[in-house]
């Protein structure tokens, strides 16, 4: 399937939105309005957006993002106001202050909440896609991992299990050169991460991660294979992390000139603007209209999020367990238990007094 001009412009919109939203979050972070860390995907927007775009919303495909995949959640319908509220731990954020940054999910919109432990989403998505297969559903799953995550046991066990079971799963390794301060050369002795695919008996494909159309194409091929029942594909996207692990990291371990080189020669948005100008004859006015729309959406989302209340203390106990326990456990006594008023306490908790 080739993308229409409209879809190609939509890819530009999502990359722009990802970047502008993160820039706004930096602003809020510096005003100390963000709770916790701030994780950027500067220079990697094409990976998250291009790969997510290759999934089919109408079929119920599901992806699992990591901290550098905000763009994939936006493609799946996460809204800027949800993201800003979540970063600010507001009471009306998706997790109502119980989680931070982009740690939230929404099954209906096709993205699931991430586990921080590197690699752990691979076995989770192996399970999700095994379910698709057992129920004979025409659905595909996609899991993003970083180069660092490939060194974990969970990555190995998850991808091996999914390969053996021929689960409809796409594993995207975002090779951005670093895992915190560890360069890729210290992460693996393999020449390329896709070489690992041989060991699992699955196809591996590498693509330029800063070329959004190449990312879309390679992922679409893998999604199609998965949907045809041909199992797992390992994709390696070559990109570069232009910011530190998080906003607090000053990247003192990065060789001089490296970041500047990637910014100057290989920015995914700048490169894509050239492609759209030349191949699709997109005019300056068309770009300006999309940029203005993005700006307005980010501004409106910021205003709304700033007005949002902080969570009520009792919110800490809600939506943590699927069901309230039949008998309140010991730790619901004392201060913590009294955070829930008698009125709000479900009757099923009983009157356990310890």
Ligand X SMILES: Cc1ncc(C[n+]2csc(CCOP(=O)(O)OP(=O)(O)O)c2C)c(N)n1
**Number of chain residues interacting with ligand X (CB under 6 A):** 16
Site string for ligand X, 63-82 (x = CB under 6 A): -----x--------------
> Does position 176 bind Mg ion by CB under 5 A?
yes
> Does position 180 bind ligand X by CB under 6 A?
yes
Which among ligand X, Mg ion, none contacts residue 22 (Cβ within 5 to 8 A by kind)? none
- Which residue is closest to ligand X by CB? 146
Q: Which of 78, 122, 125, 179 binds ligand X (CB under 6 A)?
A: 179
Which among Mg ion, ligand X, none contacts residue 117 (Cβ within 5 to 8 A by kind)? ligand X
Q: Which of 178, 200, 216, 272 binds ligand X (CB under 6 A)?
A: 178
Residues 199-258 that bind ligand X (CB under 6 A): 241, 245
DSSP state of 251: -
Beta bridge partners of 175: 238
Angle between helices 121-134 and 153-164 (to 10 degrees): 20
Residue 74 has which token pair?
């936006």
User: Alpha-carbon distance 171 to 79, whole Å?
Assistant: 25
Question: Toward Mg ion, which CB reaches closer, 176 or 302?
Answer: 176
Site string for Mg ion, 132-151 (x = CB under 5 A): --------------xx----
Question: Toward ligand X, which CB reaches closer, 175 or 233?
Answer: 175
Which among ligand X, Mg ion, none contacts residue 180 (Cβ within 5 to 8 A by kind)? ligand X
Query: Is residue 237 within 8 Å of residue 207, measured between CB atoms?
Result: yes
> Does position 159 bind ligand X by CB under 6 A?
no
Which among ligand X, Mg ion, none contacts residue 99 (Cβ within 5 to 8 A by kind)? none
Q: Shortest Cβ distance from residue 241 to Mg ion (Å)?
A: 6
User: Alpha-carbon distance 54 to 38, whole Å?
Assistant: 27
Q: Which of 73, 142, 149, 202 binds ligand X (CB under 6 A)?
A: 149
User: Alpha-carbon distance 160 to 63, whole Å?
Assistant: 19
Coil/strand/helix, residue 73:
helix
Residues 117-136 that bind ligand X (CB under 6 A): 117-118
Query: Is residue 163 within 8 Å of residue 200, measured between CB atoms?
Result: yes
Q: Shortest Cβ distance from residue 212 to ligand X (Å)?
A: 18
Strand order in the sheet with 141-146: 62-64, 141-146, 169-175, 233-238, 204-208
> Does position 181 bind ligand X by CB under 6 A?
no
Tallying the residues shown for the chain, one arrives at 354
Question: Toward ligand X, which CB reaches closer, 37 or 60?
Answer: 37
Residues 6+ apart with CB under 8 A from 211: 46, 268, 271, 272
Q: To 5 degrees, how large is the angle CA 274–CA 278–CA 283?
A: 85
User: Alpha-carbon distance 78 to 166, whole Å?
Assistant: 30
Which residue's entry shows tokens 């919303």?
57
> Does position 116 bind ligand X by CB under 6 A?
yes
Which among Mg ion, ligand X, none contacts residue 95 (Cβ within 5 to 8 A by kind)? none
Sites of contact with ligand X (CB under 6 A): 68, 116-118, 146-149, 152, 174, 176, 178-180, 241, 245
């Amino acid at each position: 399937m080739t993308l229409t001009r409209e879809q190609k412009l939509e890819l530009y919109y999502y990359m722009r939105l990802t970047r502008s939203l993160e820039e706004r979050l930096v602003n809020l972070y510096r005003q100390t309005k963000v709770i916790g860390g701030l994780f950027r995907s500067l220079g990697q927007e094409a990976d998250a957006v291009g790969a997510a775009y290759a999934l089919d919303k109408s079929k119920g495909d599901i992806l699992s993002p990591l901290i550098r995949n905000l763009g994939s959640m936006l493609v799946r319908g996460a809204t800027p106001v949800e993201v800003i509220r979540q970063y600010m731990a507001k009471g009306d954020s998706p997790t109502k202050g119980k989680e931070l940054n982009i740690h939230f999910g929404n099954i209906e919109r096709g993205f699931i909440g991430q586990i921080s432990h590197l690699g752990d989403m691979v076995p989770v998505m192996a399970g999700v896609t095994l379910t698709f297969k057992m129920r004979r559903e025409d659905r595909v799953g996609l899991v993003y991992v970083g180069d660092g995550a490939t060194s974990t046991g969970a990555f190995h066990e998850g991808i091996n299990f999914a390969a053996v079971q021929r689960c409809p799963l796409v594993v995207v390794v975002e090779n951005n050169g670093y895992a915190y301060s560890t360069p890729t050369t210290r992460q693996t002795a393999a020449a390329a991460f896709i070489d690992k695919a041989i060991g699992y008996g699955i196809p591996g494909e590498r693509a330029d991660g800063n070329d959004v159309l190449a990312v879309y194409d390679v992922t679409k091929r893998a999604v199609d294979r998965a949907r045809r029942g041909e199992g797992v594909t390992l994709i390696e996207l070559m990109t570069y992390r232009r910011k530190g692990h998080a906003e607090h990291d000053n990247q003192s371990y990065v060789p001089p000139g490296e970041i500047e080189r990637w910014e100057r020669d290989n920015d995914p948005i700048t490169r894509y603007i050239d492609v759209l100008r030349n191949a699709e004859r997109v005019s300056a006015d068309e770009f300006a209209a999309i940029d203005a729309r993005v700006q307005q959406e980010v501004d409106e989302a910021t205003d709304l999020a700033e007005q949002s209340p902080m969570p009520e203390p009792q919110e800490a106990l809600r939506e943590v367990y699927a069901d309230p326990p039949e008998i309140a456990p010991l730790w619901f006594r004392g201060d913590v238990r009294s955070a829930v008023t008698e009125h709000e306490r479900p009757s099923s908790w009983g009157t356990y007094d310890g």
